[in-house]
Structure 1
Amino acid sequence: MRTYIKINKENLRHNYLEIKSKTNKEIIAVVKGNAYGHGIKEISQELALSGCKFFMVASINEALQLRKSLILSPILLLENTSDLKSVLALKLTLSIMSLKQLEDISKTKIPLSIQLFFDLGMKRDGLLPYEALEAKKIISHSNLLLTGIFAHHTCKENYEKETNILTEILKIFDNKIIYHHQSSNYILEKDDSKFLRIGGALYGLVDMPNINLKTVLKLYSPIWCIKEVKQGEEVGYGNKKTVPENGYIYTIPFGYADGLKRNTTLLGFINGEIIKNVGNIMMNHTLMFSKNKYKIGDEIELIGDNLNINYLSKQYKTIPYEITTSLNPNLKRIIE
């Protein structure tokens, strides 16, 4: 008996087509972070079958997984890597995050496909707007092929201002060049770009008032050990926690090695009730408590129809992305 993840491929396909129908744009599917914890191989294959023609990853290893999964579509690589031979061999498009990186790569004379990433105010990485002219000059004297320009917005309040900055950058380059700056939170914002760069919304991890998105991932863990306990009994490492009332301790095979934070108050749903853990999360186990009696093999829903990911993120004081990307890649994923 093992904890496992269910991936609803119909919901994934629905989300992809729903976004396409609302925007009439090409979608660059962001599958970094193991496809936001959903499983990069399974998700990418299903998206390709749904018609997706462009993908984005964070590392060469992720790109390699896509190529091994027979994804032949263009892949944009976010990693600032020196392994240019792999970039060329895997036919990747390399993201350029700084003027120095661009200068160094141009000196190698390797004919790489590149896209320039511009910093619109986040201060994380990316070329600064005033460096656009110099970047164009470097590219014009190199073997590099510029296939696009992209950026990331800081927040909705700054969207218009940052879009205007990007518009000025684009004027320096060929006006026919591909560009993308709209991510999941900006799907319905008006824009002339023919591309959207979508991650969280594909997986139903974003609440969109005018787009009907469905959750793709569910998480279940079976009861594999039961202990009857009385109120006040001590449990767990160090016996630092006590049982709130008479009932049962249900051990499930899911712990911080599987993606939980050790100090989390884990919520589970079973037979119409929400139950919680008692004591700290362990590496491979969690002790759940209920006054009601269940049997070995009964499944506890940890993410699903009754414990929606957006509800859970509020309870855990985090965001849906952190919850799903934390899930161990070794957890079994079932496509349904």
Structure 2
Amino acid sequence: MVINSMKLYLNKENLIHNIEYLKKYRGKEILPVVKANAYGHGMEEIVGILYENGQREFAVARYVEAERILKMNLKDVKILIFESIGDLELVKDKPELEISANTLKELKELIDFGIESKRIQIKIDFGFGRNGILLEEVERLKEYIAQKKLKFRGIYSHLFSVNYEEGLEYIEIFHNILEKLGKDNFEMIHLQNSAGVLNFDCEDVTHLRVGMLIYGLQEVGFYDKNLRQVFSLEGEIAGIRDVSQNRYIAYGTKAELGFLDTKYIAKIKIGYADGYLKVNEGSGCIINNKEFPVVLVSMDNTFIEVDSSVKEGDKVILYHDISKCVAHNKMNIYEMLTILSPRIERVIR
């Protein structure tokens, strides 16, 4: 009997390969971004694999994500939290946590509260409307650092959706800021996100801050054939029905669904409650090395038009062709993965 058959399988070898490849690519250390449940792959699973492989530094967006890593009771880890911390009491006595100073005011509040500067990473805003200390505040930041004689854990910024020429300009701006503030005041320096890693080199940085690339997820224009996909969403056919005489398939008529001549329907145990959305209707999946169309997605089940060769228990693979899925759903692959719910078990291979 097939129960909760759909799982997200994680290829341990591919994950480690991607980390090691990216280290060699620019000759820098990697700061893996494991926010949003490790881009949907499963934070505890991904962090566990990387920790076992020697990784000790991680980055997340929010305190609640850092807390999940702390509960794993790993030794000697450092976790950078990108977003501002509302209640500083939460982090005061947790030296494993590194806090971003996203404004000059926030930096002063952290120092006044008693957070050691060696636990703080300064974020610089290049004008993207995100977090960070503004460029016009850098001179005041310099004066504050000198006044307090501060040494920081790190400094970073963000290259996002910039063309090549603009990217080079921002890298130069970042270099000048480092020179002004004193490069030796920062243990860790990082600038490139995943797209920036492939497009730009930066001599000043000590680390590459990489999210989707460590999982082998890539977008048009940012492709490297050496990276390997880590996830595979797959399971087993939970049942087959002959619907040749039926007017309905699950919650819709065959005519409404556009499958009027359908004879056989296969059911798999995944639905929009699992984060496999109804936009997947009309897309494809792989069963026995053949592509079949997804007819309907309900809350807990998905129905696929199949032929007589498909049997209960046969292996089915979803999201098998990322480019097709992205085009069909009009969503980035990491959007589709991050919404996959905990009901889908993450399994390390």
Query: Normalized against structure 1, the TM-score is what?
Result: 0.90
Tell me whether 1:196 sits opposite 2:208 in the alignment. yes
Q: 2:50 aligns with which of 30, 47, 50?
A: 47
Q: Show the counterpart of 2:88.
A: 84
Aligned length: 332
Q: Show the counterpart of 2:154.
A: 148
Q: Show the counterpart of 1:271.
A: 288
Does the 8 Å contact 1:106/1:139 carry over to 2?
no
Q: Show the counterpart of 1:103.
A: 108
> C-alpha separation between the residues in 2 aligned to 1:293 and 1:34?
37
Does the 8 Å contact 2:240/2:266 carry over to 1?
yes
Structure 1 residue 107 displacement after superposition: 3.3
Task: After TM superposition, list the pairs within 5 Å mapping 1:133-172 onto structure 2.
Answer: 133-139=139-145, 146-157=152-163, 158-172=166-180
Structure 1 residue 154 displacement after superposition: 2.4
Task: After TM superposition, list the pairs within 5 Å mapping 1:1-336 onto structure 2.
Answer: 1-2=3-4, 3-71=6-74, 72-91=76-95, 92-111=97-116, 113-139=119-145, 146-157=152-163, 158-176=166-184, 177=186, 178-188=188-198, 189-192=200-203, 193-206=205-218, 209=223, 212-230=226-244, 233-239=247-253, 240-265=256-281, 266-279=283-296, 281-303=297-319, 307-336=320-349
**Could you say what secondary structure the match of 2:342 adopts?**
coil
> C-alpha separation between the residues in 2 aligned to 1:11 and 1:217?
9
Distance 1:241 1:310, change over 3 A: closer
Does the 8 Å contact 1:234/1:242 carry over to 2?
no
Note the aligned Cα RMSD (angstroms).
2.3
Deviations 1:115-146 (A, max 9, x none): 11112132122221111222344455569752
**Could you say what secondary structure the match of 1:187 adopts?**
helix
> C-alpha separation between the residues in 1 aligned to 2:343 and 2:224?
35
Structure 1 residue 153 displacement after superposition: 1.0
Does the 8 Å contact 1:19/1:211 carry over to 2?
no
> C-alpha separation between the residues in 2 aligned to 1:143 and 1:69?
35
Does the 8 Å contact 1:229/1:243 carry over to 2?
no
Sequence identity (%): 32
> C-alpha separation between the residues in 1 aligned to 2:182 and 2:225?
33
Distance 1:262 1:142, change over 3 A: farther
Deviations 1:16-70 (A, max 9, x none): 1111122221100110011111111111121122232321011222212222223
> C-alpha separation between the residues in 2 aligned to 1:148 and 1:57?
15
> C-alpha separation between the residues in 1 aligned to 2:238 and 2:213?
34
Distance 1:77 1:143, change over 3 A: farther
Does the 8 Å contact 1:139/1:146 carry over to 2?
no
Query: Normalized against structure 2, the TM-score is what?
Result: 0.87
Structure 1 residue 238 displacement after superposition: 4.8
- Residue type matched to 1:160 in 2? L
> C-alpha separation between the residues in 2 aligned to 1:77 and 1:232?
54
Structure 1 residue 231 displacement after superposition: 8.0
Unaligned runs of 5+ in 2: none
Does the 8 Å contact 1:99/1:135 carry over to 2?
yes
**Could you say what secondary structure the match of 2:182 adopts?**
coil
Q: What stretches of structure 1 move > 6 A for 4+ residues in a row? A: none
Structure 1 residue 294 displacement after superposition: 2.0
Does the 8 Å contact 1:106/1:143 carry over to 2?
no
Does the 8 Å contact 2:26/2:201 carry over to 1?
no
Structure 1 residue 211 displacement after superposition: 5.5
> C-alpha separation between the residues in 2 aligned to 1:209 and 1:123?
27
> C-alpha separation between the residues in 1 aligned to 2:34 and 2:131?
20
Distance 1:296 1:144, change over 3 A: farther
